Structure 1
Amino acid sequence: MLTPLSDNNRLRLFSGSANIPLAQEIARYLGMDLGPMIRKRFADGELYVQIQESIRGCDVYLIQPCSYPVNDHLMELLIVIDACRRASARQITAVIPYYSYARADRKTAGRESIAAKLVANLVTEAGADRVLAMDLHSAQIQGYFDIPFDHVYGSPVLLKYLRSKNLHDLVVVSPDVGGVARARAFAKKLNDAPLAIIDKRRQAHNVAEVMNVIGDVRGKTAVLVDDMIDTAGTITEGAKFLREEGARQVYACATHAVFSPPAIERLSSGVLEEVIVTNTVPVPDSKQFKQLTVLSVANLIGETIWRIHEDSSVSSMFR
């Protein structure tokens, strides 16, 4: 009589091409190897994927942040999900450390696309049974999915590092009104530090104009908290304004280091003491600079995967 697969033997881990080093770290945390897969492109750019081991009846976790080039990595995620579904995987979990198109999460004017919802539809239709994502730009995106969704935060990693620095007279600053909830939660876990808010008026996409600061930052160490740093306009303009308002030092914390041009020039200009990010998005050597600190979320994601696989609580990790 054949012995059925144990739950542990059912777990399979695969990675797209977007962030293989992170996927390898997660695999090491779980004490396993990444599954073998052929991935190549035809001359016209089309992607070909083939899973190189049997995953019939297995629980498959696909690690693929949809970072630059966004459309290529998103399409690769969909194709790998489809390949796993057609290989008879029992359950497919899309592990998306960085969820693309998250900023297009609602209609603010006529004739706009809600691209975050479109991506949710695509991932579901491709065959994903569950999604694990980190630090969504907007928590409401979870509601765009009709399949289980686990939303985890990079803040435990960022907070642990900040505490190790023993900074004094801290004030946590939200770079805009939309990030107040995130900054408030961050401040509460940072010994209930005071909160300040930068009020700005956005003139166009990726262009921000700082207008006012709500709260006391004079003589304090300000920690700007956001979910991502893209062109770094919001963060650097906010840091300049905080210094004008009397902040003694300014640090920036964000989970996703998108770093589109001219982010590196702005962040390395000296207005920030340190820029602290995680490795949800790969940061190549060309984007490294003196003030940058990159922290790993591999253990956090690995532990979340294990708890999902074992049907235990994920939310208890963040209490």
Structure 2
Amino acid sequence: MTVQRTGRSELLLFAGRSHPALAHEVAAQLGTSLVETRAIDFANGEIYVRYQQSVRGADCFVLQSHTAPINNAIMEQLIMVDALKRASARSITVVAPFYGYARQDRKHSGREPISARLMADLFKAAGADRILTLDLHADQIQGFFDGPVDHLSAMPVLADHISEQYAREKLTVVSPDAGRVRVADAWGERLGAPLAIVHKRRDKDVAHRVSAHEVVGEVRGRVCVLVDDMVDTGGTICAAADALFDQGAEEVIVAATHGVLSGPAAERLTASKVTEFVFTDTLPVPAALGQERVTVRSVAPLIAGAIRAIHRQDSVTYFLADQ
């Protein structure tokens, strides 16, 4: 097997079974191969993992995106980390392009868990030294893990696509709610575009129903780029797009890092008037969506570059600054 070496250790890349296409692309970007791994499910659903080569003294990177069924993907990655710890790996980095349970980052009412913190505790207990992830739902999750967290942004990947396909002078970057304004502002700076905000309210009596009422900013006759970290059921983003069209937007483009796309998402996205949905490949895009209005940009070069920097003990911050 071809590996990258330094004077101290070798780089070994491992992958769970949740997103093999992304794993193989990251390996290709690194000029290496995935470590051969035997992973099976017992009849009762328990997961068994064994690596087919020695990992002693190696810098090990365990790539697993938390796809559906999400609990299986997380448990498999935890077991993979535990196996590496018990096999005397020099260092273990959890590579989670999509970090599960990130939306549960605080208590909104009594008797609720903070599941994002529990996730960090589980990876630490399993033996992880470091976490590498993309576009967390909330930045404070980085503080939940007792060790380094490299938080990558897919904005350069997505924004470059937008600037290549649409005239910059017509663009307006739109935040779908007040919570994403800072992210939208960074997009606006990169694209040289003005900013608008959609004010939304959720229907407390009906699950997954979102009503978007007010647009702050000038969108009439503009090509609006709705930016978010994820699209799950599509309720928020489709309601925001409708509000923009109601205010005279010429076109609406949706750009999001994580295409979770669960439940009624396929139906909602298909029925919407959005010109294009742009996602990255942190998660597999369901085949039900087709490819007519869906563009998927790869984050494999971004992940591979960060892995290479970590292994060489270079600055990940400097690497990101070049993106």
Deviation at 1:163, TM superposition (A): 1.2
For 2:246 and 2:199, the matched residues in 1 are separated by 15
Distance in 2, Cα, partners of 1:162 & 1:30: 27
User: What TM-score do the two structures reach when normalised by structure 1?
Assistant: 0.96
Q: What does residue 269 of structure 1 align with?
A: 271
Partners of 1:67 and 1:175 lie apart in 2 by 24
What secondary structure sits across from 1:266 in the alignment? helix
Contact 1:227 1:256 survives alignment (8 Å)? yes
1:300 is aligned to 302
SS of match in other structure, 1:268: helix
Structure 2 Cα separation of the partners of residues 200 and 270 of structure 1: 18
Name the structure 2 match of 1:69. Answer: 69
User: 1:190 corresponds to which residue?
Assistant: 191
* 1:203 Cα deviation after fit: 2.4
Q: 1:287 to 1:76 in 2, by over 3 A?
A: farther
SS in 1 for 2:200: strand
Aligned counterpart for 1:229 among listed residues 208, 228, 231: 231
Opposite residue 178 of structure 1, the aligned amino acid is G
| Deviation (angstroms), 1:66 | 1.1
Residue pair 1:264, 1:289 contacting (<8 A) in 2 also = no
Q: Which stretch shifts more, 287-296 or 28-37?
A: 287-296
Q: Offset of 1:314 from its aligned partner?
A: 1.5
Residue type at the aligned position of 2:299: V
Determine the C-alpha separation between the residues in 1 that align with 2:107 and 2:318: 34
The answer (yes or no) to whether the contact 1:154–1:255 under 8 Å persists in 2 is yes
Query: Alignment partner of 1:261: what SS?
Result: coil
Q: Counterpart of 2:261?
A: 259
Provide the residue aligned with 2:214 in structure 1: 212
Runs of 4+ in 1 over 3 A off after TM superposition: 5-9
Tell me the amino acid that sits aligned with residue 74 of structure 2.
Answer: L
CA RMSD of aligned residues (A): 1.3
Aligned-pair CA distance for 1:318: 3.5
Q: How does 1:142-161 map to 2 (within 5 A)?
A: 142-161=142-161
**C-alpha deviation, 1:9, in angstroms:** 5.6
CA deviations over 1:35-78 (Å, ceiling 9, x no partner)? 01100011101000001100000000000011211100010010
Q: Deviations over 1:237-260 (max 9, x none)?
A: 111110000100000000001000
CA deviation vs aligned residue, 1:254-284 (integer Å, no higher than 9, x gap) = 0001000211111122410000000000124
How far apart, in 2, do the equivalents of 1:317 and 1:222 lie? Answer: 30
The amino acid of 1:250's aligned partner reads V
User: 5+ unaligned residues in a row in structure 2: which ranges?
Assistant: none
Letter in 2 for 1:201: R
TM-score by length of structure 2 reads 0.94
Report the Cα offset of residue 6 of structure 1: 3.6
Report the CA distance between 1:289 and its aligned residue: 4.0
Which one is further off, 289-298 or 202-211? 202-211
Query: Quick one: distance in 1 between partners of 2:57 and 2:120?
Result: 25
For 2:291 and 2:121, the matched residues in 1 are separated by 38
Which residue is equivalent to 1:86? Answer: 86
Change (3 A) 1:118 1:131: same
- The one-letter amino acid paired with 2:54 is S
Count, aligned residues? 314
Residue by residue over 1:4-23, the C-alpha shift from the partner in whole angstroms, topping out at 9 and shown as x without a partner, is x7448610000001111101
Q: Which residue of 2 aligns with 1:177?
A: 178
Distance 1:47 1:219 in 2: 54
In structure 2, C-alpha distance between the alignment counterparts of 1:8 and 1:37, rounded to whole Å: 24
Structure 1: how far apart are the matches of 2:183 and 2:237?
15
Instruction: Give the percent of matched residue pairs that are identical in Structure 1 and Structure 2.
Output: 46
Hey, what's the Cα distance between the residues in 1 that align with 2:272 and 2:208? 21
* Consecutive unaligned residues in structure 1, runs of 5 or more: none
In structure 1, the residue corresponding to 2:271 is in which secondary structure? coil
Q: Distance in 2 between matches of 1:6 and 1:19?
A: 28
Displacement of 1:285: 2.3
AA at the equivalent of 2:47: L
